[in-house]
Structure 1
C-alpha cells in the first residue's frame, strides 16, 4: 500500500500538469494517443540523458555553472527539442501554434515524471519532499516545455529567418530558464531558498502569457468566431 501511495504521489503531478495544459487548448484539442506517445517518449529519454550527463560530469567537473547550464539544462532541453523536431514538428496534427505547447509539455512532463519516480524510489523521501518536487522541478519542467513549445509553434507557422529564429529560441529559452533554476538551487544558501517562490511565480506568469498568446493566434479562433456569427 505504501509503495502504491509513493508511486501515485510521484506520478500525479506530471499527469495533472499535462491535463491542465491539454485543456487550455481552446480551439482544436490534440489526439490523446499522440500526446500519450510523446509523454512516454519523454520518459524513455531519461536513461540516455543520465548516461550522457554522467559522462559530461566526469569530463567537465561539477562547477555550478557547468552543471546547471550545460550538463543539466543543456542536455535535457536539447534532447526534448530534438524529439519534438524530429517526431512531431512536421506532423499533420501540428496545425496551430498552441499544439507546440501541448506536445512540448507532454515530452517535458514524461521526462519529469519518470525522473520523479526514480527519485522517490532511490532516495529516502517523505510526502512533503514529493510535494516540494511537484511545486518546483516538475512544474519547472512543464514551464520549460511551455517556453519551448510556444517558440516551436511560432516557428512552425512562420517562414524564412523568423522561423529559424523561433526554432533557435525554442532551445535557448528553456535552457536559459532551466539553467538559472538549477544554478539558484545549487548556489543559494538553504535559508534563502524562499527566493525560488517569486522565481517560480515569474515563470508561471510568463508561461500563462505564452499560453494565451498561442491561443490568440490560432487559425481556428477566427473559424470559431465565423461559426458563432452565422445565423
Structure 2
C-alpha cells in the first residue's frame, strides 16, 4: 500500500513543486499552500458522492458526463474552495498567486483520486496516470489560477468576466479531456496526447504571462 500511495502522490508533489518554484519573486507561505492542497484532497469525497448520484439516478450520456458531471462539477467545486480559502485571503496579493493556489488544490484532488485508482487497477498504471489525469488537473488549475490572478487586480465588469473565465475555461478543457477519453476508446493515447501537448503549451504560457504581469503590477505599486 505504501508503494501505491508513493506512486500516486509523487507526481502531484513534483508538479506542485515545479509550479511553486516558478514563482520568481515572492513565494507564497508554504502553510497556506499545504492547507489548500489538503482542501483539494478532502474535496474528492463530496465529488465522488455527487458524481455517483448523478450517474446512477439520471443515467447521463457520455457528453453530459464529460462536460457537466465531471468537468463543470469538479472545476466549480475547486473554484469555489480556491475563491473562499485563498482568493479572499490577504496572502493572495500578486497575479501569480492564483496559479499557485489553484494548482495546489487541483493537485491535492488529483493525489487522492490517483491513490484510489492505483489501489483498484494496480501500480502498473502509475506512468499513464501521472502523464494524463494528474498533469491534466495541474494544468486546469494553472489556467483557473491565471484568470483568478488577473481578476483579483481588475475591477468592475472586467473583473466579473475574468472570474467567469477562471471557472468556465478549465471546466471546458476538463470536459474536452474527458470526452476525448470516452470517444477515443481503443485509440485513446493517440487522441489524448496531442490534447495534452496543447494543454502543456497553454499552461506554461499562462505561467510566463502571470510572472510578466507580476512585474508590471509591482512596477505600478512601488
Q: Which TM-score bucket, shorter chain as reference? A: over 0.9
Determine the C-alpha separation between the residues in 1 that align with 2:122 and 2:149: 38
Q: How does 1:174-213 map to 2 (within 5 A)?
A: 174-213=170-209
Q: 2:139 aligns with which of 119, 133, 143?
A: 143
Match of 1:126 in 2: 123
Query: TM-score, length-normalised on structure 2?
Result: 0.95
Q: Secondary structure at the match of 2:87?
A: coil
Which residue number corresponds to residue 10 of structure 1? 8
Q: Is the 8 A contact 2:54 2:60 kept in 1?
A: no
Gaps of 5+ in 1: 227-231
Answer whether contact 1:96 1:219 (CA < 8 A) is retained: no
Q: 2:218 & 2:163 partners in 1: Cα distance?
A: 26
Separation (CA, whole Å) in 2 of partners of 1:4 and 1:86: 33
1: distance between equivalents of 2:172 and 2:218?
34
> Alpha carbon RMSD of aligned pairs, Å?
1.5
Structure 1 equivalent of residue 52 of structure 2: 54
Larger displacement relative to structure 2 (178-187 or 81-90) = 81-90
Question: Of 103, 112, 117, which residue of structure 2 is paired with 1:114?
Answer: 112
Per the normalisation by structure 1, the TM-score is: 0.91
Matched residue, 1:229: none
CA drift at 1:189: 2.9
Structure 2 vs 1, CA of residues 49 and 192 (structure 1 numbering), >3 Å: closer, same or farther?
A: closer
TM-superposed deviation, 1:222: 4.8
Per the TM alignment, residue 221 of structure 1 is displaced from its structure 2 partner at its CA by 7.2
**Aligned length in residues:** 220
Is 1:85 equivalent to 2:83 in the alignment?
yes
SS in 1 for 2:166: helix
Q: Structure 2: where are the runs of 5+ without partners?
A: none
Query: How far did 1:77 drift?
Result: 0.4
